[in-house]
Amino acid sequence: MAFLQSAPPREPFLHAPASVLWLIGVMVAVHLAIYFGLVPEAVLDYLVFVPARLMDGTDLLGKLVPFVGYIFLHGGAMHLTFNCLWLLAFGPIVARRYGPGLFLGFFLLSGIVSALLYLAFNWGSTIPVIGASGAISGLMGGGLRMMRWPGTPSSGRLAPIFSRQILVFSGFWLITNLIFGLAGFDGQTIAWQAHMGGYLFGLVAISAVDWLRFGRRYSAG
């Protein structure tokens, strides 16, 4: 009888892999710790990425740590929320295909490369840069090549970088970042070079990650 049947299992509220949710949790925890004054100012100053510091007498570790540390700092609740939602949109695509190790490694490398491109355009700048936007842009670039676009391979291989869909989206992404980079957003300056650095890295480097994970079976042509 129907009333004796067990209820169907409930679908989980979030389908994102644990690695994505843990990463979001870390970013939120760091932000709350800073908000409640649990992180000393000296530590924050050590983590922020400032291009000009690469030319001063700071120790080598002090010059390298900000390339990763800045990713986990955010300028406010809106900045953090936007990046968490963005990560929730593109992070699962990469995490499900490659697993937590390669996903987290790719995320951090994207953040490092985005900082390097920002540095190339802003050498000597004293303006601090914070936020996970560049790293998440890398996930977006890689995730776009995993989508099944019309006319692209359906055998599990990555979509070609120079496919029409990827080129159109890349152009749109560049123009959007230039607009917000010049106009700013919510009273803050947008490091559009960092976004583009992460995004372009994601588009190109995802082929190497695919080869590491699958070898020749699914490598891009």
Domains and CATH numbers, the chain: 16-217 (1.20.1540.10)
pLDDT of residue 190: 80
Kindly report, residue by residue over 43-101, the tens digit of the pLDDT: 999 999 999 988 877 688 889 999 999 999 999 999 999 999 999 999 999 999 999 99
**188 — phi, psi (to 5°)?**
-115, 150
From the list 32, 26, 30, 72, the residue with the least C-alpha distance to 48 is 72
Q: Are 84 and 26 in contact (CB under 8 A)?
A: no
Chain-centroid distance of CA 187 in Å reads 22
Q: Half-sphere exposure of residue 77, counting CA atoms within 13 Å on the CB side?
A: 2
Three-class secondary structure of residue 129 per DSSP: strand
pLDDT of residue 220: 46
pLDDT of residue 61: 87
Residues of the chain with pLDDT under 70: 1-14, 58, 151-155, 183-188, 216-221
